[in-house]
């Protein structure tokens, strides 16, 4: 459960609690009918069904479906079932804005939800703000907390890249080495890592020896490796795109197992089996993971429940096809965001679009979210001013072809000063 | 200050973390595709050499059809009427059904069933479009009820040119529309397209369908690739391409349409590549979406087609000069354009193979749910494993190479039939053969090169 602290009224909270308790004692069919209205809560799911985000969109869809099934089986939101209205945005910012508009004006959605790719979020959020449609994104970008969006855009279900990078730095300098070289793609995504990591490493007494930017269209990397300084202790890599497997293979051939420690982000290899032929060189290297793809011995009962509900096995692949590896490090964001929407609507006594502002305030009032079935990735802390959630980050090492968690960062490790206070903007 | 900087930095944060089939492409990039491409090009070059030394009749002989002791089935208007009813139902579902294109029967039917599967089957097997097109049945029904034929005569002077325009409009929608799979948008497009051509067919009769309607022209062109066809009034079976030799030469406008099929298919591949995006100055890892490339894609489609026609014409002109042939350019294009059909068809099949394997599962899923047979789990697992990715790539490459070999055989047989000696035919085709070897390499490169859209 999330903790409402600020704006949700006492009466509202009591009503919700009483309603929840009453609902829990009723048979399933009766839970909907006792509510003020059995009309479903319509959640517009802005899905990357086609375009470059389609592989992610598929798994975001599955996590969403599973969460909705669970919430509805437990009585829905305020006794009303959730209805998902999925719209394909083609992973296209312009279409993203059109989709948001359709949610508000055509489909009668209560909220919009589920956007992953940052450029689509940035293209869509202004429209959501104008239409005053609560827009819950699951994109991992720092754009929400940076202040570039608006009061109606929130990211309560997944942490942002800046907090991830900051939280990683102490582990890198303490456990792997203080002399770091970065290899990153030469555009925004890579710069985000570059600009967040270097100060964090220096704050830990480490040093970034070189920052090697690789042109985004590059498909052969061996020529860049001689630029890696000889005294490098850790190679931090965040390569993405189709050539990432080639990058790993050529890196392995270049160093022949004798090189520096490797630290990467699982984004590079989401939906790819870590034990694929050609990736042997990753053995022993470390990865940031949003959520541990391979089942850990101490996995919480909540996460095990989540795996089963989404249909994912102990290696993070579909239970129907072990080769179909999920986007495990990110898709929990959909599950958790839907639970936040539920908690927010219940705290706000949400009845319909007239209560959208109250919903925003109710979510802004949230702070600590304990590890639970609603938050299987781990405990979180929401910052109502910046609309961004913070949480634990996981560092895993590839051991015998399995991602084994070796470190969990504290929530405090990932915090950074507020860059915005959205609550000062008008609702 | 950080706000501004951060805005720019995070603008495309996640874009490109993974592309549609990033893992598949990742494994393709690990394959020694340069070796495979060279081998494919060499196979086609070897075919050229063999044809130059083999007796002239050999190429023609392999395309000789085998008559079957089965009467040619007559067109059944009832199937077309059923197709019309299904189409109208699909349009209605597009407007009223699920907004998710992978769950909406209209999007699935148009792009997976019709565009990928039926076009391929038409080319591989033969002409069944004549039975299932959604226009001819209704037109026959109206004629029967009113007892009158179409009131207007199609101006023959226009030839198939309106059909070329109609197909280009379709290709433009496929390649440049921001959301061609969006169910409601597609429903409107299909409804407009169907209505426009229905009115044309009612006014001008079957000639409209055979000369103006782009999909029918594409289907009839690919029907020439079918194993099954008509020879001397009977159903006959022959090697892919045999009907090109058995049928009369196409008109110039129809020949140009055949070139446009290949040109548009090639651009369909080209517009997704890192190379094309580099030309447009776009970062392939943060593709800004189809909305951002409407103009460039339309222009690219036109230029690719014009470029292909120009290069093809130059090869034919050079060949005619080398062989001392006096045939005019129009005749040469009409003679040789159909020989490019196997390349266009092969590339269509190869290009869409992965989409078919993935999106075809959504079609099965829809069927299964509709029939109450339960949920079908859509898997992309075969795109995540090196073994299956290699198998898929080799299949695509094999299809492309086979298409080019057949194209060469057809071109050679056509030259021999035009009365040239083997040596002259070989000379006349030297530039065209070079073109085909080059196109093989280009087609295989399109399958191997990284894509960003």
Exposed (0-12), middle (13-18) or buried (19+): which is B4, by Cβ within 10 Å? Answer: exposed
Count of beta carbons in the 10 Å neighbourhood of residue A40: 17
- Partner residue facing A278 (CB), from B99, B289, B386: B386
Do residues B190 and B94 make contact, with C-beta atoms less than 8 angstroms apart? Answer: yes
CB contacts < 8 A, A to B, total 255
What does the domain layout of chain A look like in residue ranges?
Answer: 10-159+328-391, 160-289+392-427
Which residues of chain A are within 8 Å of residue B289 when distances are taken between CB atoms? 51, 90-95, 119-120
What tens digit of pLDDT does each residue of A90-113 get? 999 999 999 999 999 999 999 999
pLDDT tens across A119-158, in order?
999 999 999 999 999 999 999 889 999 999 999 999 999 9
Give domain A160-289+392-427's CATH number out of 3.30.930.10, 1.10.287.610, 3.40.1390.10, 3.40.50.2300.
3.40.50.2300
Q: Decide if B20 and A278 are in contact by the 8 Å CB cutoff.
A: no
The answer to whether A56 contacts B288, with C-beta atoms less than 8 Å apart, is no
What burial class does residue A31 get, using C-beta atoms within 10 Å of its C-beta: 0-12 exposed, 13-18 middle, 19+ buried?
buried
Q: Is A87 on the interface with B (CB under 8 A)?
A: yes
**Cβ-nearest to B2 among A117, A192, A419:** A419
> Does B181 contact chain A (CB < 8 Å)?
yes
Work out the pLDDT band at B23, boundaries 50, 70, 90. Answer: low
Chain A CA closest to residue B382: A323
**Cα within 13 Å of Cα(B100), Cβ side:** 19
Q: How far is A107 from chain B (nearest CA, A)?
A: 10
Distance of CA B319 to the CA centre of its chain: 27
Alpha-helical segments (H) within A208-327: 244-255, 301-310
Q: Where are the domains of chain B?
A: 19-64+259-453, 66-237
Is A58 part of the contact surface with chain B (CB cutoff 8 Å)? yes
CATH T-level assignment (fold) for domain A10-159+328-391: Rossmann fold (3.40.50)
What gap in Å lies between CA A380 and CA A291, rounded to an integer? 13
Banded model confidence at residue A278, pLDDT cuts 50, 70, 90: confident
As for the ipTM of the complex, it is 0.85
pTM: 0.89
Nearest chain B residue to A240 by CA distance is B17
Question: Are B13 and A241 in contact (CB < 8 Å)?
Answer: no
pLDDT score at A33: 45
Please indicate whether residue A19 or residue A311 has the higher confidence score (pLDDT): A311
User: Which residues is B145 bridged to in the sheet?
Assistant: none
Scanning A365-404 for CB atoms below 8 A from B yields: none
Contact with chain A for residue B20, Cβ under 8 A: yes
Q: What are phi and psi of A141, to 5 degrees?
A: -75, 155
Does A34 have pLDDT greater than 50? no
| A283-335 tens-digit pLDDT | 999 999 999 999 999 999 999 999 999 999 999 999 999 999 999 999 999 99
> Are B285 and A185 a contacting pair at CB < 8 A?
yes
A262 forms beta bridges with A235
């Amino acid at each position: 459960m999330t903790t409402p602290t600020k704006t949700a009224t006492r009466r509202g909270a009591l009503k919700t609690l009483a309603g929840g308790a009453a609902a829990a004692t009723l048979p399933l069919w009766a839970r909907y009918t006792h509510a003020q209205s059995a009309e479903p809560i319509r959640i517009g799911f802005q899905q990357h069904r086609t375009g470059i985000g389609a592989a992610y969109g598929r798994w975001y869809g599955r996590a969403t479906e599973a969460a909705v099934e669970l919430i509805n089986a437990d009585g829905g939101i305020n006794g009303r079932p959730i209805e998902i209205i999925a719209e394909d945005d083609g992973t296209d910012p312009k279409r993203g804005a059109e989709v948001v508009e359709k949610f508000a004006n055509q489909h009668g959605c209560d909220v919009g939800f589920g956007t992953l790719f940052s450029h689509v979020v940035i293209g869509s959020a202004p429209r959501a703000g104008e239409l005053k449609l609560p827009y819950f994104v699951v994109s991992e970008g720092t754009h929400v907390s940076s202040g570039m969006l608006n009061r109606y855009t929130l990211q309560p279900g997944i942490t942002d890249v800046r907090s991830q990078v900051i939280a990683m730095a102490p582990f890198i300098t303490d456990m792997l080495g203080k002399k770091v070289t970065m290899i990153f793609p030469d555009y925004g995504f890579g710069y985000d890592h570059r600009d967040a990591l270097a100060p964090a490493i220096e704050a830990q007494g480490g040093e970034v020896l070189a920052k090697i930017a690789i042109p985004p269209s590059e498909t052969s990397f061996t020529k860049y490796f001689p630029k890696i300084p000889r005294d490098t202790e850790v190679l931090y890599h965040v390569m993405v795109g189709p050539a990432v497997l080639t990058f790993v293979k050529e890196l392995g051939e270049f160093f022949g197992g004798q090189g520096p420690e490797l630290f990467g982000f699982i984004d590079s290899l989401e939906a790819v089996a870590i034990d694929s032929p050609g990736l042997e060189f990753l053995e022993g290297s470390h990865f940031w993971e949003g959520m541990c793809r391979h089942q850990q011995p101490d996995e919480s009962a909540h996460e095990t429940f989540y795996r089963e509900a989404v249909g994912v096995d102990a290696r993070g692949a579909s239970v129907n096809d072990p080769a179909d590896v999920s986007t495990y490090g990110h898709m929990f964001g959909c599950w958790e965001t839907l639970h936040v929407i539920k908690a927010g609507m219940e705290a706000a006594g949400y009845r319909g679009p007239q209560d959208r502002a109250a919903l925003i305030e109710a979510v802004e009032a949230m702070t600590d979210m304990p590890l639970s079935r609603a938050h299987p990735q781990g405990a979180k802390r929401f910052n109502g001013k910046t609309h961004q959630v913070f949480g634990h980050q996981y560092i895993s090492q590839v051991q015998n072809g399995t991602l084994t968690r070796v470190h969990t960062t504290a929530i405090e490790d990932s915090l950074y000063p507020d860059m915005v206070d959205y609550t000062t903007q008008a609702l | 200050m950080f706000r501004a900087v951060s805005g720019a930095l995070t603008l495309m944060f996640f874009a490109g973390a993974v592309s549609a089939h990033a893992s598949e492409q990742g494994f393709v990039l690990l394959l020694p595709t340069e070796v495979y491409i060279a081998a494919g090009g060499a196979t086609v070059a070897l075919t050229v050499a063999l044809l130059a030394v083999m007796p002239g009749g050999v190429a023609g002989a392999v395309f000789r059809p085998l008559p079957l002791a089965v009467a040619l089935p007559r067109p059944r208007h009832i199937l077309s009427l059923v197709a019309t009813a299904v189409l109208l139902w699909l349009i209605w579902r597009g407007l009223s059904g699920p907004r998710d294109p992978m769950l909406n029967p209209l999007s699935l039917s148009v792009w997976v069933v019709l565009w990928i599967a039926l076009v391929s089957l038409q080319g591989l097997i033969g002409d069944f479009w004549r039975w299932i097109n959604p226009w001819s049945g209704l037109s026959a029904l109206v004629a029967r009820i009113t007892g009158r034929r179409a009131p207007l005569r199609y101006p023959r002077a226009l030839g198939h040119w309106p059909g070329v325009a109609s197909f280009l409009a379709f290709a433009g929608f496929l390649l440049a529309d921001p959301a061609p799979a969006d169910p409601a948008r597609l429903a409107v497009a299909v409804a407009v397209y169907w209505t426009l051509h229905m009115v044309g067919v009612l006014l001008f009769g079957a000639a409209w369908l055979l000369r103006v309607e782009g999909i029918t022209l594409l289907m009839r062109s690919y029907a020439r690739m079918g194993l099954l066809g008509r020879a001397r009034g009977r159903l006959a079976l022959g090697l892919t391409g045999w009907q090109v030799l058995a049928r009369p030469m196409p008109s110039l406008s129809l020949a140009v349409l055949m070139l446009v099929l290949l040109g548009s298919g090639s651009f369909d591949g080209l517009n997704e590549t890192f190379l094309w995006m580099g030309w447009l100055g776009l970062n392939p890892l943060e593709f800004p979406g189809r909305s951002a490339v409407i103009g460039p894609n339309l222009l690219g489609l036109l230029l690719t087609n014009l470029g292909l026609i120009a290069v093809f014409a130059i090869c034919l002109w050079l060949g005619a000069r080398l062989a001392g042939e006096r045939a005019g350019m129009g005749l040469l294009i009409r003679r040789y354009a159909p020989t490019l059909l196997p390349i266009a068809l092969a590339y269509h099949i190869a290009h869409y193979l992965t989409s078919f394997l993935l999106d075809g599962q959504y079609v099965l899923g829809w069927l299964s749910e509709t029939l109450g047979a339960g949920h079908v789990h859509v898997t992309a697992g075969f795109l995540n494993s090196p073994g299956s990715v290699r198998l898929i790539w080799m299949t695509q490459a094999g299809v492309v190479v086979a298409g080019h070999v057949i194209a060469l055989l057809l071109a050679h047989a056509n030259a021999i039939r035009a009365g040239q000696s083997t040596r002259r035919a070989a000379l006349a085709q030297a530039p065209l053969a070079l073109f085909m070897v080059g196109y093989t390499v280009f087609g295989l490169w399109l399958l191997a090169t990284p894509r960003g859209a």
